[in-house]
Amino acid sequence: MRALGIDIGGSGIKGAPVDLEKGELAEERLRIPTPSPATPEAVAEVVGRIVEHFSWEGPVGITFPGVVLDGITMTAANMNQSWVGVDARGLFSEVTRQPVVVLNDADAAGLAEVAAGAGKGEAGVVLMLTFGTGIGSALFVDGRLVPNTELGHLELRGKDAEKRASDAAREDHDLSWEEWAERVEEYLRHVEMLFSPSLIIIGGGVSKKADKFLPRISIRTRIVPAALRNEAGIVGAAMAAADL
Ligand code: BGC
């Protein structure tokens, strides 16, 4: 079975049909730059174009980089503020005329990693953390997701953790890999103290460069890079849509 997965990010909106049994893209993905300003209407228009591009009819899973409760986008830390309180599921169903599920981007990436990637077959508490513009989190207990955990907004040195340790912070402050790894380690120790996970999966675009920073990080918990890399969001979104 297939479903269409769409991953909404700060710089790009990416989509592809996903083979749900294999947990991988069934066709080459389409990436369209995120419109600026990224208002709900402008983003919905892009989502509509992706659905059209694949002549897609069937379930569609869509990620959003904020808290999503029952199809409503509740926060938008790194997105246009006009998203707060929007019925995203309603909006996307209208433009696509397909059954739609909307979920947090890190939750989607985590679903894919736990089903078909680095967290496959792992029991107990598993935490996926994505490092990009922000820090996203997805918490699993015996393979079941606890949605909308928002651990990127834990406080670290009096600041939002993602402002210190996201990949964007690395770039903005011109940090060396070593300097950034130190910040990430401090953040991970805090998370580890709070949740005692048995495995931490590191995702987001920067997971492609895991060899540059993971060897510099030493914490108690086992820590591995995401297996599906940047495609986890698309795959997980499609998986979430499978039940529609
Ligand atoms: C948002 C999260 C999101 C993460 C990664 C954070 O700023 O609050 O909801 O998962 O960024 O995009």
pLDDT digits (tens, 9 = 90+) for 189-205: 999 999 999 999 999 99
Position in ligand 1 atom list of the atom nearest CA 106:
10
| Residue whose CA lies nearest to ligand 1 atom number 10 | 136
Which part of the chain has CATH 3.30.420.40?
A: 2-107+232-241, 121-227
pLDDT band for position 55 (50/70/90)?
very high
Q: What is the percent of the chain with per-residue pLDDT over 90, rounded to a whole number?
A: 98
| Residue whose CA lies nearest to ligand 1 atom number 12 | 65
Neighbours of 141 (CB within 10 A): 12
Angle between helices 40-53 and 88-96 (to 10 degrees): 40
How far is the CA of 232 from the CAs of 15, 176, 235, 240, in angstroms?
A: 11, 26, 5, 12
pLDDT digits (tens, 9 = 90+) for 205-234: 999 999 999 999 999 999 999 999 889 999
Position in ligand 1 atom list of the atom nearest CA 67:
9
pTM of the model: 0.98
d(C-alpha 32, C-alpha 13), whole Å = 5
Q: Find the mean pLDDT for residues 50-58.
A: 98
pLDDT digits (tens, 9 = 90+) for 144-190: 999 999 999 999 999 999 999 999 999 999 999 999 999 999 999 99
What is the average pLDDT score of the chain?
Answer: 97
What is the reported pLDDT for 170? 98
Q: What CATH architecture applies to the domain 2-107+232-241?
A: 2-Layer Sandwich (3.30)
pLDDT digits (tens, 9 = 90+) for 117-130: 999 999 999 999 99
65 lines ligand 1 (CB under 6 A): yes
Count H helices and E strands in the chain, helices first: 8, 16
What is the reported pLDDT for 102? 98
Q: How far is the CA of 162 from the centre of ligand 1 (A)?
A: 9
How far is the CA of 27 from the CAs of 32, 44, 118, 148, in angstroms?
A: 16, 22, 22, 29
Q: What angle do CA 45, 46, 49 make, to 5 degrees?
A: 90
Position in ligand 1 atom list of the atom nearest CA 162:
7
Q: What CATH architecture applies to the domain 121-227?
A: 2-Layer Sandwich (3.30)
Mutation pick for ligand 1 pocket among 105, 107, 155, 187 (CB with most ligand atoms within 8 Å): 105
Q: What is the percent of the chain with per-residue pLDDT over 70, rounded to a whole number?
A: 100
Q: Is residue 244 pLDDT above 90, yes or no?
A: no
77 lines ligand 1 (CB under 6 A): yes
Q: Find the mean pLDDT for residues 99-109.
A: 98
Q: How far is the CA of 66 from the centre of ligand 1 (A)?
A: 5
107 lines ligand 1 (CB under 6 A): no
Element (H, E) at 139: strand 135-141
Element (H, E) at 218: none
How far is the CA of 242 from the CAs of 49, 75, 78, 101, 235, in angstroms?
A: 21, 25, 28, 9, 11
Q: Is residue 243 pLDDT above 90, yes or no?
A: no
Q: How far is the CA of 91 from the centre of ligand 1 (A)?
A: 21
Q: How far is the CA of 134 from the centre of ligand 1 (A)?
A: 5
Element (H, E) at 134: none
What is the reported pLDDT for 229? 81
104 lines ligand 1 (CB under 6 A): yes
Contact 200, 129 (CB under 8 A): yes
